[in-house]
Amino acid sequence: MKAIVYVALKPGVLDAQGKAIASALTDLGFVGVVGARQGKVIEIDLAETDVEAARARVHEMCDRLLVNTVIETYRVDIIA
Amino acid sequence: MKAIVYVALKPGVLDAQGKAIASALTDLGFVGVVGARQGKVIEIDLAETDVEAARARVHEMCDRLLVNTVIETYRVDIIA
């Protein structure tokens, strides 16, 4: 079973990478770039076979290691 | 209009972050973690209003700046 975790900065938290991307795109001549934000995706292969158990386990992984919940939010998709 | 770009390392390319995540999860006592891979997500706000034009523009952004196509693959979702 596979879990995909999408991690993004909370709204209001300064996203320096996102700002750098938006300004680099504009510098390269792309017009109409209003803004950009960068986050990360973590794909985890699990031996677990129960969807709900896997989801609970991955939420615990996020809270303990993968996500800084002070400044980041996350979403978990489980692919059976 | 919003574009979401998912960037991942190509299969076969060493993913040091992914390996570090998998081994840290195992060290924390999570059993059944078979592997992990880390990628990035870039969300771009565009002034463009045509979906196909936006998609073409974002593919060009990926090839020119956002993605190292030697070692990375990407997928673009356009959210109208």
What digits encode the pLDDT tens for the residues B3-43? 999 999 999 999 999 999 999 999 999 999 999 999 999 99
Using a 10 angstrom Cβ sphere, with 0-12 exposed, 13-18 middle and 19 or more buried, the burial of residue B2 is middle
Instruction: For A2-61, write each residue's pLDDT tens digit.
Output: 999 999 999 999 999 999 999 999 999 999 999 999 999 999 999 999 999 999 999 999
Binary contact (A36, B22; C-beta < 8 A)? no
Judge whether residue A67 has pLDDT over 90. yes
d(C-alpha B10, C-alpha A41), whole Å: 14
Record: fold of A2-79:
Mth169; Chain: A , (3.30.1280)
- Element containing residue A59 per DSSP (H, E): helix A51-61
Return phi, psi of residue A14, to 5°: -60, 125
* Residues A69 and A63 sit within 8 Å (Cβ to Cβ): yes
Interface test with A, best of B41, B51, B55, B79 (most A CBs within 10 A): B41
Residue ranges in chain B assigned as alpha helix (H):
16-27, 51-61
Considering only the beta carbons, identify the residue of A33, A38, A46 that sits closest to B33: A46
**Per-residue pLDDT band at B80 (split at 50, 70, 90):** confident
Binary contact (A40, B42; C-beta < 8 A)? no
Binary contact (B25, A43; C-beta < 8 A)? no
Instruction: For A9-20, write each residue's pLDDT tens digit.
Output: 999 999 999 999
User: 10 Å Cβ neighbour count for A63?
Assistant: 11
Complex-level ipTM:
0.89
